[in-house]
Amino acid sequence: MRVELIGEDGRLIVRQAVDFREYKHKSIAFYPVIPFEINSAAETARLQVLTSDRFGRAIAIESVDVILQKVGRNEIYAPEVTQEPYIIRYPDEGQTVTSGKLVIEGLIRPVNDSPVILEAIGEDNSVLFTKQFHVEPPSGELSHTPFQLEIPYKVSAATPVRLIFRQEGSRIPGSVALSSLTIILAP
């Protein structure tokens, strides 16, 4: 797992690697101390926590925009939304999909106005397909907006892929939220 602080111009200010493998399948709380230096009095930045699989593909990203200040005291506010932005109901983790058509069903709570980006990334980090789509914010008493996609694909053999759902930031480059699952695409 990595904790990163990204500056408003996209530069990496701080990166800390943390190994929590001994806590696999457990919930934990951690409070990293993240020293930083900036050249101006204040700067907008993104604080993000990322996890990757053994092939270097992103598993998840959680982030929050912050304002860094050279002087002053910390002001920390509770997040407005704490719900998972992307809930995939179908396919299931590890499922094999056949017939050249991937059907995806789920719920999304967009984190901003940018399109949701769906990517299928192979174990060699090749992108099998990418699709961008818009989802309206939930309305009424709904916490998420339902969606369904049908995506044609072509593979010559059973191909393990990581399906990644993410959204890009508007002010600071990079993904602001990302969730994923692994499936197998078969001919």
**pLDDT tens-place string over residues 47-104:** 999 999 999 999 999 999 999 998 888 888 877 777 899 999 999 999 999 999 999 9
d(CA 106, CA 13): 35
Residue 146, preceding peptide bond in cis (omega within 30° of 0): no
Selection from 179, 27, 14 nearest residue 109 by Cα: 179
Backbone phi, then psi, for 175, in 5-degree steps?
-75, 135
Rounding to the nearest 10 degrees, give the CA dihedral for residues 151, 156, 158, 160: -60
Nearest Cα neighbor of 49 from 59, 31, 36, 62 is 62
What mean pLDDT, rounded, does the chain reach?
93
CB atoms within 10 A of CB 97: 21
Give the pTM.
0.89
